[in-house]
Structure 1
Amino acid sequence: MSRLENKVAFITGGSRGMGAAIALKLAQDGADIAITYTSAAAKADETVKAIEKLGRRALAIKADNLDVKALENAVNEAHAKLGRLDILVNNAGVYTMDTVDQLELAEFDRVMSIHVRASFVASKAAAVHMGAGGRIISIGSNLAEIVPSAGLIAYSTSKAALIGLTKALARDLGPREITANIVHPGSTDTDMNPANGDHAEVQRARMAIPKFGEAKDIAGLVAFLAGEEGRFITGSSFVIDGGANI
């Protein structure tokens, strides 16, 4: 039997990049998958087809993390159509670079809503459907713990807030044997931060292993936490950044 056989995972922002890699890895490990997307319908369809080729059921639901009702409905739709819900991965995210004197309050609120409020909304909705052994895994950032350059005030603040949310979820849901953990990727080769981008060399210079990670590296850690090996790990943060934080 596969590690996640008979499990269902719900992944926000699962149409491409890190989210798609997580969806595929959890499917390879035996889970049926529901993903959300905002605008990349073609990419979402590609991810669904790739999961189905693995012999797993897959569902793509259009739901913007800024739309509370759409996100709640997506969680409930995944449960209704796939029959259960065992794993939530709060992955959907945005990146912004503005210093405190440049950043508009509306943009600060947008970043906080996408990263923090939506993770609360999805976690609250998913927890209703989870039994013992449920997993909530949020994707943070190593920039929650270090701020190596100016312009990260909204991004770093939102990712740091996810740490507190994760610890609180772990405490609230622990009696039900539902775990909550957070994974902090560093420089990872995705559309958002390509390994050949303008700022890539600066990032590599900070790393003990001076190369960008791959989305599959993050997916592997998420899969570990989602599996049986992660059953006694909760309220914890995992940095996976090639040693940029040491």
Structure 2
Amino acid sequence: MKIVIIGGTGLIGSKLVARLGEHGHEAVPAAPNTGVDTLTGEGLAEVLAGASVVVDVSNSPSFEDAAVLDFFRTSTGNLLSAEREAGVGHHVALSVVGTDRRPDVGYFRAKLAQEKLIEDSGIPFSIVHATQFFEFARRIADEATGGGTVRMPPVLFQPLAGDEVAQAVGRAAAGAPLNGRTEIAGPEQFRMDEFFRGALAAWGDPREVVTDPHAPYFGAEMRERDLVPDGGATLGEIKYADWLAANPAP
């Protein structure tokens, strides 16, 4: 079946296109560099023609509160409208563990708004909530850096490999709509400060990791369980040390 992947040239999208193609689906990547822009609607009608499923793994270029909210509202609204016109039967979206617990956090609030649009669209849907990706760890460390130190809160953290995110999203896309959510997380749970202390050492990075209960995570102070599932999540199998051995720093 034809499955259109919005954000299909990005980290998760490109993995998803390859995985779905290997399973015999017509997996079509859709992104601005393929002529499809969900913010303007350009190319949507054409790429969705004949599609059975649309998977949205796109992300906002800015995490600033107003910008990210505008991105997901506009992009998702245009996409759902085009899907109704095209008769798409299943909308799959990748979201974040904890959106419903922290609507005061700008990015979570934006993803929650996206999920609400999907729920209210009338299109059968599946939403996959994921914890953070291994591939994003360096950016998290860089965002937390100041004066040669990396300030991290000692909250729970349960990242997973991007390949396993793509696997879970692909499974949702090929299956029947859940009209609900499923959660995925990594196989190991850490304290965030301890994870990054070990990660920087493994990277050969000389920055010092400082434990700070008030250190912000992309602008927001996290509570103990904000970044991990409440329970019942599907757990990946790839441990960070094994992933890092297979994906050494350039």
TM-score normalised to structure 2 length = 0.62
Where does residue 6 of structure 2 map in the other structure?
12
In 2, Cα distance between the equivalents of 1:113 and 1:221?
27
CA distance in 2, matches of 1:97, 1:11: 22
In the aligned structure 2, how far is the partner of 1:66 from the partner of 1:181?
22
Instruction: For 1:193-232, list aligned pairs within 5 A.
Output: 193-194=136-137, 197-198=140-141, 202=152, 206-207=156-157, 210=158, 212-227=159-174, 230-231=175-176
- Kindly state the Cα deviation for residue 137 of structure 1 after the two structures are TM-superposed: 0.5
Cα distance in structure 2, aligned partners of 1:32 and 1:203: 43
| CA distance in structure 2 between the aligned counterparts of 1:76 and 1:216, rounded to whole angstroms | 29
**The one of 166, 169, 182 aligned to 1:238:** 182
Q: In the alignment, does 2:105 pair up with 1:153?
A: yes
What does 1:45-194 align with in structure 2 at a 5 Å threshold?
61-67=34-40, 69-70=41-42, 74-80=43-49, 84-94=50-60, 96=62, 108=66, 110-130=67-87, 134-147=89-102, 153-169=105-121, 172-173=122-123, 179-190=124-135, 193-194=136-137
Provide the rounded CA distance (Å) in 2 between the counterparts of 1:245 and 1:203. Answer: 18
2:21 matched to 1:37?
no
Structure 1 runs not aligned, ≥5 long:
1-6, 42-60, 174-178
Write 1 or 2 for the structure with the bigger share of helix: 1
Greater C-alpha radius of gyration: 2
Q: 1:71-108: per-residue Cα shift (whole Å, max 9, x none)?
A: xxx2222245xxx101101221126555xxxx6xxxx0
1:175-215 CA deviation, whole Å, 9 max, x = no partner?
A: xxxx212112211133xx235741599589513xx5x3122
**Alpha-carbon deviations, 1:125-146, whole Å to 9, x = none?**
1233236xx2101121124134
Identity %: 15
Whichever residue aligns with residue 121 of structure 1, its letter is N
Decide whether aligned partners of structure 1 residues 20 and 145 sit closer, same or farther in structure 2, where only a CA change above 3 A counts: same
Give the aligned CA root-mean-square deviation in angstroms. 2.9
In structure 2, how many angstroms separate the alpha carbons of the residues matched to 1:113 and 1:160?
12
Number of residue-to-residue matches in the alignment: 183
TM-score, L = length of structure 1:
0.63
Say whether the 8 Å CA contact 1:9–1:85 is kept in structure 2: yes
Higher strand share: 2
